[in-house]
Amino acid sequence: MPDPVGKLPGEPVEPPTTGSDEDTAVTQSPEEEAPPATPDAEVRADVSKTPSPAMAWLRRWLTLREAPGMAEAALLGVLAIVAALGGWAIITAGPPGSRLVSPYLLPSIGETLKSFPSLWFDRSLSISILWSVGRVLGGFLFAVAIGVPLGVLAGSWPRLNALLKPLSIFGRNIPVAALIPLTLIWFGLGETQKVMFIFLASVAFILFDTTSAVQSVPDRFLDSAYTLGARPRWRRALPWAGFIAALYGLVVGFGPVLTAWLDAPPGAPFTVAPDLAAGKALAIRILVGSALGFLLWLPIFGHQAVGRILLPLALPDIVNSLRLLFGLAFGYIMLAEVINAKHGLGDIINVSQRRGPREHIYLSLIIISLLAFGIDRFILWVQKTSFPHVKNVQT
């Protein structure tokens, strides 16, 4: 093929231009070219593309799983409370005869607040709060002492989990109200019945959640522990297991003694073991409690993979579950105090339902909610302080 005219051999050959390019070059004139964009025009274009604050907020609402900030979450919570109080004020506004809802069913906010002095002074609200909190703490801590170590063992040894799983399912699905006649038959009308009601209503949930938390620990941590030489060391675990066994023995042994003292009439003489039979019963309870604590905690402390790997890694989830379950247990206080309660918020609600005033019912419900919320926030603070590395804590 001959070289183009005017080109020496070895020089690069320029590609020929097509007619369309030439036509385009000819038809485009400097006057028809678009003017360069000015900075003001660019700013106006950006502003026109930026959504309004209301539209941006609406988009955040519609975005799946986008968590709000702390200030926004607090504001939304306040708005919900204001909306509830506003609805309460609207349906109870006006004279008693012209309200949307009868004051017998729902008193107004003002009427409810005016009854607070009589609730505090005439019905000993402060003492009732102490009794209710003590009953819930006693039953729930006893459930923690049984459910947590048993859940750790069940999560570590699957065959034990298979053995306990039917009991856990039964305990979580039984109606809570059905526990009232059972505990009355088993434990009588005293304080033991109320504490054990909270215990039975909570222990199955604690067992299930603790087992799930231990099972969720990845197996790679166990593989690393075994590689580094983790193995059972029963002799080193004996002092710790013995110490915890002594604590369990004291609680199980003297717990009924404490509840019997609380049930005794004021000024009545009371002794720990008034006769030989009571002394034997006390010794048996101490022995049974000590054996229970020893058997629950010896495998945990004795096996390094359980005590140093599984339990520490599952502990944040266990504490978070206990925090949520405590609020559930606190809500059972009315059922626990439904029969033969000297004091307590549940007793105030039950008596007010029969005799009045009805305002005390709503005040007691508000106080129960505030107490549960305050304790929940305290446990949440302890949880975040103890486990600062854990993210996305359920609040």
What pLDDT score does 35 carry?
55
Give 372's pLDDT tier (boundaries 50, 70, 90). confident
Give 229's pLDDT tier (boundaries 50, 70, 90). confident
What pLDDT score does 266 carry?
65
Give 368's pLDDT tier (boundaries 50, 70, 90). confident
Q: What's the CA gap between 329 and 136, in Å, rounded? A: 7
What pLDDT score does 159 carry?
94
CB neighbour list of residue 305: distance below 8 Å, 6 or more residues apart: 156, 222, 225, 226, 230, 231
Give yes or no for a contact between 331 and 84, defined as CB atoms under 8 angstroms apart. Answer: no
Give 141's pLDDT tier (boundaries 50, 70, 90). very high
What pLDDT score does 9 carry?
52
Comparing CA positions, the residue from 183, 199, 197 lying closest to residue 142 is 199
What pLDDT score does 24 carry?
47
Question: Buried b vs exposed e over 236-246: b needs ≥16 C-beta within 10 Å?
Answer: ebeeebeebbe
- The answer to which of 12-26, 66-80, 88-102, 293-307 has the lowest mean pLDDT is 12-26
Residue predicted with more confidence, 223 or 10: 223
What pLDDT score does 125 carry?
87
Residue recorded with tokens 């215990």: 199
Tell me the pLDDT of the chain averaged across its residues.
Answer: 82
pTM for the whole thing? 0.78
Q: What's the CA gap between 93 and 113, in Å, rounded? A: 15
Tell me the three-class secondary structure of the chain, residue by residue.
CCCCCCCCCCCCCCCCCCHHHHHHHHHCCHHHCCCCCCHHHHHHHHHHHCCCHHHHHHHHHHCCCCCCCHHHHHHHHHHHHHHHHHHHHHHCCCCHHHCCCCCCCCCCHHHHHHCHHHHHHHCCHHHHHHHHHHHHHHHHHHHHHHHHHHHHHHHHCHHHHHHHHHHHHHHHHCCHHHHHHHHHHHHCCCHHHHHHHHHHHHHHHHHHHHHHHHHCCCHHHHHHHHHCCCCECHHHHHHHHHHHHHHHHHHHHHHHHHHHHHHCCCCCCCCCCCCHHHHHHHHHHHHHHHHHHHHHHHHHHHEHHHHHHHHHHHHHHHHHHHHHHHHHHHCCHHHHCCCCCCCCHHHHHHHHHHHCCCHHHHHHHHHHHHHHHHHHHHHHHHHHHHCCCCCCCCC
Give yes or no for a contact between 372 and 327, defined as CB atoms under 8 angstroms apart. Answer: yes
Give 166's pLDDT tier (boundaries 50, 70, 90). very high
Q: Tell whether the model's pLDDT for residue 94 goes beyond 50.
A: yes
What pLDDT score does 43 carry?
47
- The answer to which of 57-61, 139-143, 170-174, 293-297 has the lowest mean pLDDT is 57-61
Q: Tell whether the model's pLDDT for residue 211 goes beyond 90.
A: yes
What pLDDT score does 275 carry?
53
pLDDT digits (tens, 9 = 90+) for 269-288: 555 555 555 778 888 999 99
303: β partners: 232
What pLDDT score does 297 carry?
94
What pLDDT score does 25 carry?
46
What pLDDT score does 294 carry?
94
